[in-house]
Structure 1
Amino acid sequence: MSKKLKIQSPKIPTGLSPFDYNNREDSYINMALISDCTISQEDIEKVRFEEVVFKNVTFLDGSFRYIQLTDVIFERCDLSNVDFTDGIIHRVEFRDCKLLGLNLADATLRNVFFENCNLNMGSFGYADLKEMRFENCSLRSADYYEAKFNKLEFKHCDLEDANFTGTRLAGVDLSSCKFNRLNLSLDSVAGCMVSADQALGFAKLLGLEIKE
């Protein structure tokens, strides 16, 4: 049995002060609770959040390129179609969030945990992902094109039509996940761990004919 991957949790101090993001004065937010609000049409680069909790926050048409997130929790938030391209994300958790089309292309992620999230059509193309877990998430049509994986876990996720083309899946265990179709290349699958039923599906995806 493989050893469970240890993910570093966000380091959140007690007694965070409520903060009104829409009245912020600079691009660095620290030790804050941002809750029950909408952040609309924000377009900003290199904003930094450290030791911050977002609860019930909806982001509408937001662009946060080069965002830096360290020790941050998103709980029951909606970040659909938000742009986090080229972000640096460390010790961050997304819990029960709607993340349809979230763009994390070219981002660097370390110790990030997605739990019970809808990440359909999420983009991780060319991203650098290390020490991460996706658990009970919907990742239908998610794009991991030429991403770098190092110590990743997918637990009980829906990976239907996800794209792993150009991404090495060595050491990645997909056996608890469900999918009928994946997009991948022959050099992607070496060392990937799957169930017996999934192995037949992989063979068909790679163009092999299975004789009964």
Structure 2
Amino acid sequence: MSVRKKTVAKVRRAAVRLPPLEAYAGEAEPDGDYDGLELLGLDLAGQDGSGARFLDCAVRDCGLDGTRLTAARFLDSVLDGVRGVGTDLAGAQLRDVELVDARLGGAQLHGAVLERVWVRGGKIDYLNLRAARLKDVLFEGCVLSEPDFGGATLERVEFRDCVVTGADFGGARLKDVDLRTVQRIEIARGVDALAGAVISPAQLLDLAPVFAAQLGVRVEDPS
């Protein structure tokens, strides 16, 4: 009897095609409406753009230290080379977005909604995605240090050629999450939530001590 191999649903990757853009040199404003603009090399540190809407925009090489973008919406937009510590995107919506070569620390995206998002390159430390919803999200060639997916929902999410260390999946719900090509993976918490993910045989060996600890199994050499 033949056994049919179950396939992993493919991520529907974001493909942003920007129109001709107009340069913007102003500041972030609460509930601001940004349409067809390029924000290039701006220092937006400490500014408040909560509730703002970015449609068909490019945010390039901008400083986002402590920038408040809670409940902001990024639609059909590119964020390229952004950097900052403590950027607050709690409750934000990112749909059809490319995040390229970001350098972020402690970015807050708890409760955010990410749909058709492509995170490519860069390094993000202490990314907070607690209770967020991720659908059709591709992490490619990036470094994620201690990301927090606690209580999040991940559907059709792929980590391709990434380094993921200290990840927290506690209480997360996963469906069609592909970890097979992760270069290095360390799970600090929530290994029991990995149902719905697919890993490679080599990763299974690497994660065996974590799985054993979760089951309460001791692994010792015979005396």
Q: Which has the larger radius of gyration?
A: 2
Mapping for residues 115-130 of structure 1, pairs under 5 Å: 115-130=140-155
**Structure 1 residues 200 and 72: CA distance shift in structure 2, 3 A:** closer
Cα deviation, 1:22-61, whole Å, max 9, x if unaligned, reads 6244100100111122122112321000011111111332
1:146 is matched with which residue: 166, 171, 175?
A: 171
Deviation, 1:120, is 1.3
Greater alpha carbon shift after TM alignment, 2-11 vs 89-98: 2-11
Partner of 1:48: 73
Give 3-state SS (helix, strand or coil) of 1:103's partner: coil
Residue 159 of structure 1 contacts residue 177 of structure 1 at CA under 8 Å; is this kept in 2?
no
Task: Give the Cα–Cα distance (whole angstroms) in 1 for the partners of residues 207 and 100 of structure 2.
Answer: 35
Provide structure 1 residue ranges, at least 5 long, that are not aligned to the other structure: 179-193
How many Å apart are 1:161 and its aligned residue? 3.9
Letter in 2 for 1:12: V
SS at match of 1:53: strand
Q: How far 1:177 moved relative to its partner?
A: 5.8
**Is the alpha carbon distance of 1:50 and 1:156 closer, same or farther for their aligned partners in structure 2, counting shifts above 3 Å?**
same
Q: 2:167 touches 2:188 (CA, 8 Å); kept in 1?
A: yes
Q: After TM superposition, list the pairs within 5 Å mapping 1:167-178 onto structure 2.
A: 167=193, 169-175=194-200, 178=203
Q: 1:66 to 1:21 in 2, by over 3 A?
A: farther
How has the CA–CA distance of structure 1 residues 161 and 108 changed in structure 2, closer, same or farther, with 3 Å as cutoff?
closer
Aligned residues: 194
Change (3 A) 1:21 1:149: farther
Q: What is the TM-score normalised by the length of structure 2?
A: 0.77
Describe how 1:38-77 pairs up with structure 2 within 5 A: 38-77=63-102
Q: Structure 2: which amino acid aligns with 1:10?
A: A
Aligned counterpart, 2:57 = 32
Structure 1 residue 149: Cα displacement: 0.3
CA distance in 2 between counterparts of 1:19 and 1:177 reads 48
- After superposition, the C-alpha distances for 1:56-103 in whole angstroms (9 at most, x for unaligned) are 111332111100000000111112211001001100010002111010
